[in-house]
Amino acid sequence: MRKGITNMRGSINMYRVFLAEDESLIRQGIKNLISWNEYGFSFVGEAPDGELAWPLIQKQKPNIVITDIRMPFMDGLSLSRLIKKNMPETTIIILSGYDDFTYAKEAIGIGVDQYLLKPLSKEQLIEVLLQVKQKKDVEQEKQQYMEQFQKEVQEYLTSSHRAFFEALVSGKYSVPDLIERADKLHISLKAESYNIVILLVDENMENMLYEPQSVDYQSELCVRFPKNDKVEMFYMGVDVIAFLIKTDVSKIDGLTKECIRKIEQT
């Protein structure tokens, strides 16, 4: 093994690789000479031209596509355009026998990630693949971190909103204290009249569009009750949702009935 190339057997992420190459000898060489799994890859398919490759790529959804630039029926640049248009997160490595600036410029314009000149050794290709893998690992770690961060922020906000609602209905806090807590959560308490509607979700309820504890059910409620100054929604538990209705005295009954109607339609 060439110095500087490390084995990735212990890597967590396995990236799917597809190969489009019209020269059978090169295609079989790339496919069979690289121990894909050892470096953190899974070889998921091959095709002799872009036209045959495209439906297979749509089916296999590879993370990385290696393609020759010149192939019959559909060349590598045309294939790359299709991939970047429909699967923009896919990394594309172009193999070219042409040291032509025009080809390279067009490939860059499409969004091709690597432009490699033939002939290249197995070690050179592995080195490029590992560079791509390292970049994807970092991107995936960032994505996972952001998803976890957003989840924790949402859990904190839900918990804070729940605590505020409990404080609101407990009667243990003064009006100035409640207003201060509400301001921190960007909840407006300015209104002439208030009503509270409690939704007790029964898992055995019939004619429900979604499972009551599902993300779809909660998303549907959010669509029906977008954040505004009139209605605040509080998740009090997996089966309890509270609505604080705030408006003018003359409108409170009508808005309460509308709230109940929307709940019944969810």
Q: Domain for residue 10, yes or no?
A: no
**∠ Cα 19 23 27 (to 5°):** 35
CB-based contact 90:65 (threshold 8 Å): yes
Do 118 and 182 sit in the same domain of this protein?
Answer: no
Total residue count of the chain as it appears in this document? 266
Question: Of residues 97 and 222, which shows the higher confidence score?
Answer: 97
- Is residue 158 located within the same domain as residue 245? yes
Residues 170 and 223 in one domain: yes
Q: What is the CATH number of the domain that holds 85?
A: 3.40.50.2300
Q: At what angle do helices 76-86 and 101-110 cross, to 10 degrees?
A: 20
Query: Where among 106, 136, 166 does a domain terminate?
Result: 136
CA dist., res. 34 & res. 64, Å (int): 15
Q: Contact, 112 vs 94, CB < 8 A?
A: yes
Given 105, 136, 167, the domain boundary residue is 136
pLDDT of residue 60: 94
Residues 6+ positions from 129 with CB-CB distance below 8 Å:
17, 39, 41, 64, 93
Q: Specify if 111 maps to a domain.
A: yes
Q: Considering the domain boundaries, does residue 83 fall inside one?
A: yes
User: Which of 259-263's residues contact partners 24+ apart within 8 Å by CB, and which partners?
Assistant: 259/197, 259/225, 259/231, 260/197, 262/224, 262/225, 263/197, 263/199, 263/221, 263/224
Domain-located, residue 81: yes
Q: Is the same domain home to 76 and 115?
A: yes
Answer yes or no: do 127 and 152 share one domain.
no
242: pLDDT strictly greater than 90:
no
Phi, psi of 66 (to 5 degrees): -105, 125
Under DSSP, is residue 45 helix (H, G, I), strand (E, B) or coil?
Answer: strand
Q: Are 258 and 185 in the same domain?
A: yes
pTM of the predicted model, to two decimals? Answer: 0.60
How many Cα atoms are found within 13 Å in the side-chain-facing hemisphere of 78?
Answer: 12
Mean pLDDT to the nearest integer, 97-125? 81
> What is the SS3 assignment for 22?
coil
In a domain, 207, yes or no: yes
Q: Kindly report which listed range (40-44, 138-142, 207-211) carries the lowest average pLDDT score.
A: 207-211
- pLDDT band at 66; cut points 50, 70, 90: very high
Last-in-domain residue among 110, 136, 162: 136
Q: Are residues 22 and 131 in the same domain?
A: yes
**What is the residue-wise DSSP string for 174-224?**
-HHHHHHHHHHTT-----SEEEEEEEE--TT-SS-SS-TTSHHHHHHHHHH
52: pLDDT confidence band, cut at 50, 70 and 90? very high
pLDDT confidence of 229, banded at 50, 70, 90?
confident
CA atoms within 13 A on the CB side of 261: 6
For residue 2, being part of any structural domain is answered with no
82 Cβ partners below 8 Å, 6+ apart? Answer: 50, 54
In whole angstroms, what is the distance from residue 256 CA to residue 29 CA?
71
Report, as an integer, the average pLDDT of 196-203.
Answer: 77
- Whether 197 and 233 have beta carbons less than 8 Å apart is answered as no
Same domain, 164 and 259: yes
Question: For residues 258 and 266, what is the distance between their CA atoms, to the nearest angstrom?
Answer: 13
Task: Establish if 5 belongs to a structural domain.
Answer: no
Count how many domains the chain has. 2
pLDDT at residue 223, rounded to an integer: 66
Mean pLDDT of 89-103: 82
Q: Is residue 6 part of a domain?
A: no
- Let me know whether 129 and 196 are in one domain: no
The answer to whether residues 184 and 239 belong to one domain is yes
Mean pLDDT of the chain: 82
Q: Which residue has the higher pLDDT, 157 or 7?
A: 157
Same domain membership, residue 190 and residue 121: no
> Rounded to whole angstroms, how far apart are CA atoms 161 and 184?
10
Residues 130 and 23 in one domain: yes
Q: Could you list the residue range(s) of the whole structural domain that residue 58 is in?
A: 15-136
Residue type, 80: S
Q: How far apart (Å, rounded) are the C-alpha atoms in residues 37 and 183?
A: 54
